[in-house]
Amino acid sequence: MLKALQTAIDQVDSDGAAAIAAEQARAEAAEAAIQSDVDQNEVDSDAADAANAAAIAAEESRALAAEAALQTAIDQVDSDGAAAIAAEQARAEAAEAAIQSDVDQNEVDSDAADAANAAAIAAEESRALVAEAALQTAIDQVDSDGAAAIAAEQARAEAAEAAIQADVDQNETDSDAADATLQMALDAEVIRATGAETANANTIQDHISADGDRMP
Protein backbone atom coordinates (compact mmCIF):
# COMPACT_ATOMS: atom_id res chain seq x y z
CA MET A 1 0.00 0.00 0.00
CA LEU A 2 2.77 2.46 0.98
CA LYS A 3 4.73 1.56 -2.13
CA ALA A 4 1.72 2.24 -4.37
CA LEU A 5 1.15 5.58 -2.63
CA GLN A 6 4.81 6.52 -3.09
CA THR A 7 4.59 5.57 -6.75
CA ALA A 8 1.54 7.84 -7.18
CA ILE A 9 3.29 10.72 -5.41
CA ASP A 10 6.36 10.29 -7.63
CA GLN A 11 4.15 10.38 -10.72
CA VAL A 12 2.47 13.59 -9.51
CA ASP A 13 5.87 15.21 -8.93
CA SER A 14 7.04 14.12 -12.41
CA ASP A 15 3.85 15.39 -14.07
CA GLY A 16 4.01 18.70 -12.17
CA ALA A 17 7.64 19.28 -13.14
CA ALA A 18 6.81 18.60 -16.79
CA ALA A 19 3.85 21.00 -16.67
CA ILE A 20 6.02 23.72 -15.12
CA ALA A 21 8.71 23.24 -17.74
CA ALA A 22 6.09 23.51 -20.52
CA GLU A 23 4.54 26.63 -18.97
CA GLN A 24 7.96 28.28 -18.53
CA ALA A 25 8.82 27.58 -22.17
CA ARG A 26 5.48 29.01 -23.34
CA ALA A 27 5.80 32.11 -21.14
CA GLU A 28 9.36 32.78 -22.33
CA ALA A 29 8.28 32.43 -25.98
CA ALA A 30 5.38 34.86 -25.41
CA GLU A 31 7.68 37.38 -23.70
CA ALA A 32 10.19 37.10 -26.56
CA ALA A 33 7.40 37.79 -29.08
CA ILE A 34 6.26 40.85 -27.12
CA GLN A 35 9.84 42.16 -26.87
CA SER A 36 10.28 41.67 -30.63
CA ASP A 37 7.11 43.69 -31.26
CA VAL A 38 8.32 46.50 -28.97
CA ASP A 39 11.74 46.51 -30.71
CA GLN A 40 9.99 46.84 -34.10
CA ASN A 41 7.91 49.73 -32.73
CA GLU A 42 11.14 51.49 -31.72
CA VAL A 43 12.63 50.90 -35.19
CA ASP A 44 9.44 52.26 -36.83
CA SER A 45 9.43 55.30 -34.53
CA ASP A 46 13.11 56.04 -35.28
CA ALA A 47 12.37 55.76 -39.02
CA ALA A 48 9.44 58.18 -38.69
CA ASP A 49 11.64 60.63 -36.75
CA ALA A 50 14.31 60.42 -39.46
CA ALA A 51 11.69 61.03 -42.17
CA ASN A 52 10.39 64.07 -40.27
CA ALA A 53 13.92 65.44 -39.87
CA ALA A 54 14.55 64.98 -43.60
CA ALA A 55 11.29 66.78 -44.44
CA ILE A 56 12.21 69.68 -42.14
CA ALA A 57 15.69 69.92 -43.65
CA ALA A 58 14.21 69.95 -47.16
CA GLU A 59 11.71 72.65 -46.18
CA GLU A 60 14.44 74.75 -44.55
CA SER A 61 16.59 74.43 -47.67
CA ARG A 62 13.66 75.44 -49.89
CA ALA A 63 12.79 78.35 -47.59
CA LEU A 64 16.42 79.56 -47.59
CA ALA A 65 16.50 79.45 -51.38
CA ALA A 66 13.19 81.32 -51.57
CA GLU A 67 14.44 83.93 -49.11
CA ALA A 68 17.61 84.40 -51.14
CA ALA A 69 15.53 85.00 -54.29
CA LEU A 70 13.33 87.38 -52.33
CA GLN A 71 16.41 89.31 -51.12
CA THR A 72 17.54 89.76 -54.73
CA ALA A 73 14.14 91.24 -55.56
CA ILE A 74 14.29 93.54 -52.50
CA ASP A 75 17.54 95.00 -53.78
CA GLN A 76 15.64 96.18 -56.87
CA VAL A 77 12.61 97.87 -55.30
CA ASP A 78 12.05 101.17 -53.47
CA SER A 79 11.64 101.76 -49.73
CA ASP A 80 7.97 100.74 -49.70
CA GLY A 81 8.84 97.39 -51.25
CA ALA A 82 11.65 96.88 -48.73
CA ALA A 83 9.22 97.33 -45.82
CA ALA A 84 6.77 94.80 -47.32
CA ILE A 85 9.54 92.27 -47.89
CA ALA A 86 10.81 92.66 -44.31
CA ALA A 87 7.31 92.00 -42.97
CA GLU A 88 6.92 88.87 -45.13
CA GLN A 89 10.35 87.59 -44.11
CA ALA A 90 9.46 87.99 -40.42
CA ARG A 91 6.16 86.15 -41.00
CA ALA A 92 7.87 83.27 -42.82
CA GLU A 93 10.51 82.92 -40.09
CA ALA A 94 7.81 82.86 -37.39
CA ALA A 95 5.86 80.18 -39.30
CA GLU A 96 9.00 78.06 -39.71
CA ALA A 97 9.81 78.41 -36.00
CA ALA A 98 6.28 77.24 -35.15
CA ILE A 99 6.67 74.18 -37.41
CA GLN A 100 10.03 73.34 -35.84
CA SER A 101 8.54 73.65 -32.35
CA ASP A 102 5.72 71.28 -33.32
CA VAL A 103 8.17 68.74 -34.75
CA ASP A 104 10.34 68.94 -31.62
CA GLN A 105 7.29 68.31 -29.41
CA ASN A 106 6.29 65.32 -31.53
CA GLU A 107 9.79 63.88 -31.09
CA VAL A 108 9.57 64.38 -27.32
CA ASP A 109 6.14 62.68 -27.25
CA SER A 110 7.43 59.76 -29.36
CA ASP A 111 10.47 59.30 -27.08
CA ALA A 112 8.19 59.36 -24.02
CA ALA A 113 5.93 56.69 -25.56
CA ASP A 114 8.97 54.49 -26.33
CA ALA A 115 10.22 54.89 -22.74
CA ALA A 116 6.78 53.99 -21.37
CA ASN A 117 6.69 50.86 -23.54
CA ALA A 118 10.15 49.80 -22.36
CA ALA A 119 9.18 50.37 -18.71
CA ALA A 120 5.97 48.35 -19.14
CA ILE A 121 7.88 45.44 -20.69
CA ALA A 122 10.53 45.52 -17.92
CA ALA A 123 7.82 45.58 -15.24
CA GLU A 124 5.98 42.67 -16.87
CA GLU A 125 9.18 40.63 -17.20
CA SER A 126 9.97 41.23 -13.52
CA ARG A 127 6.42 40.32 -12.51
CA ALA A 128 6.44 37.19 -14.65
CA LEU A 129 9.75 36.04 -13.14
CA VAL A 130 8.43 36.53 -9.61
CA ALA A 131 5.16 34.76 -10.47
CA GLU A 132 6.99 31.84 -12.07
CA ALA A 133 9.31 31.48 -9.03
CA ALA A 134 6.32 31.48 -6.68
CA LEU A 135 4.56 28.96 -8.90
CA GLN A 136 7.58 26.64 -8.83
CA THR A 137 7.73 26.81 -5.01
CA ALA A 138 4.01 26.03 -4.76
CA ILE A 139 4.28 23.08 -7.14
CA ASP A 140 7.06 21.59 -5.03
CA GLN A 141 4.63 21.50 -2.08
CA VAL A 142 1.41 20.21 -3.62
CA ASP A 143 -0.01 16.92 -4.91
CA SER A 144 -2.17 16.16 -7.91
CA ASP A 145 -4.37 19.19 -7.21
CA GLY A 146 -1.37 21.25 -8.40
CA ALA A 147 -2.40 20.58 -12.02
CA ALA A 148 -5.55 22.66 -11.52
CA ALA A 149 -3.51 25.49 -9.96
CA ILE A 150 -1.11 25.42 -12.92
CA ALA A 151 -4.01 25.67 -15.38
CA ALA A 152 -5.37 28.68 -13.47
CA GLU A 153 -1.95 30.41 -13.47
CA GLN A 154 -1.55 29.76 -17.18
CA ALA A 155 -4.93 31.37 -17.89
CA ARG A 156 -3.99 34.39 -15.75
CA ALA A 157 -0.60 34.80 -17.44
CA GLU A 158 -2.19 34.59 -20.91
CA ALA A 159 -4.77 37.23 -19.94
CA ALA A 160 -2.00 39.54 -18.62
CA GLU A 161 0.05 39.07 -21.80
CA ALA A 162 -3.01 39.80 -23.96
CA ALA A 163 -3.61 43.02 -22.00
CA ILE A 164 0.03 44.08 -22.53
CA GLN A 165 -0.22 43.33 -26.26
CA ALA A 166 -3.41 45.40 -26.51
CA ASP A 167 -1.59 48.31 -24.80
CA VAL A 168 1.35 48.00 -27.20
CA ASP A 169 -1.03 47.95 -30.20
CA GLN A 170 -2.75 51.12 -28.92
CA ASN A 171 0.64 52.83 -28.55
CA GLU A 172 1.40 51.93 -32.16
CA THR A 173 -1.94 53.39 -33.29
CA ASP A 174 -1.38 56.62 -31.31
CA SER A 175 2.16 57.03 -32.71
CA ASP A 176 0.97 56.48 -36.31
CA ALA A 177 -1.85 59.02 -35.83
CA ALA A 178 0.58 61.63 -34.43
CA ASP A 179 2.98 61.13 -37.36
CA ALA A 180 0.12 61.47 -39.89
CA THR A 181 -1.11 64.70 -38.24
CA LEU A 182 2.41 66.17 -38.31
CA GLN A 183 2.86 65.31 -41.99
CA MET A 184 -0.48 66.95 -42.87
CA ALA A 185 0.51 70.12 -41.00
CA LEU A 186 3.89 70.21 -42.75
CA ASP A 187 2.33 69.74 -46.20
CA ALA A 188 -0.22 72.49 -45.52
CA GLU A 189 2.50 74.93 -44.37
CA VAL A 190 4.62 74.25 -47.46
CA ILE A 191 1.62 74.96 -49.73
CA ARG A 192 0.71 78.12 -47.80
CA ALA A 193 4.29 79.48 -47.70
CA THR A 194 4.81 78.78 -51.41
CA GLY A 195 1.58 80.61 -52.29
CA ALA A 196 2.51 83.59 -50.13
CA GLU A 197 6.00 83.82 -51.63
CA THR A 198 4.58 83.67 -55.16
CA ALA A 199 2.11 86.47 -54.34
CA ASN A 200 4.89 88.61 -52.84
CA ALA A 201 7.12 88.01 -55.85
CA ASN A 202 4.27 89.13 -58.14
CA THR A 203 3.73 92.25 -56.02
CA ILE A 204 7.44 93.10 -56.20
CA GLN A 205 7.42 92.64 -59.97
CA ASP A 206 4.41 94.98 -60.21
CA HIS A 207 6.36 97.63 -58.22
CA ILE A 208 9.35 97.22 -60.48
CA SER A 209 7.15 97.56 -63.58
CA ALA A 210 5.42 100.63 -62.12
CA ASP A 211 8.79 102.24 -61.30
CA GLY A 212 9.93 101.53 -64.84
CA ASP A 213 6.80 103.14 -66.29
CA ARG A 214 7.38 106.30 -64.22
CA MET A 215 10.94 106.74 -65.45
CA PRO A 216 11.25 109.57 -68.16
Does residue 33 form part of some domain? yes
Distance CA 192, CA 196 (A): 6
pLDDT of residue 55: 80
Does residue 24 form part of some domain? yes
Does residue 68 form part of some domain? yes
For the chain, the domain total comes to: 1
User: Would you say 53 and 183 are in contact if contact means Cβ atoms under 8 Å apart?
Assistant: no
Does residue 84 form part of some domain? yes
Does residue 214 form part of some domain? no
- Mean pLDDT, rounded, for 131-149: 70
pTM of this prediction? 0.27
- The number of beta carbons lying within 10 Å of the beta carbon of residue 103 is 19
pLDDT of residue 82: 60
Does residue 215 form part of some domain? no
The CA-based angle 117-53-113, given to 5 degrees, is 10
Q: Does pLDDT of 216 surpass 60?
A: no
User: Would you say 164 and 124 are in contact if contact means Cβ atoms under 8 Å apart?
Assistant: yes
- Mean pLDDT, rounded, for 65-71: 78
Does residue 216 form part of some domain? no
Across the chain, mean pLDDT equals 78
From residue 10, give the alpha-carbon distance in Å to each of 14, 143, 175: 6, 10, 53
Distance CA 89, CA 70 (A): 9
Supply the range of the domain harboring residue 92.
2-209
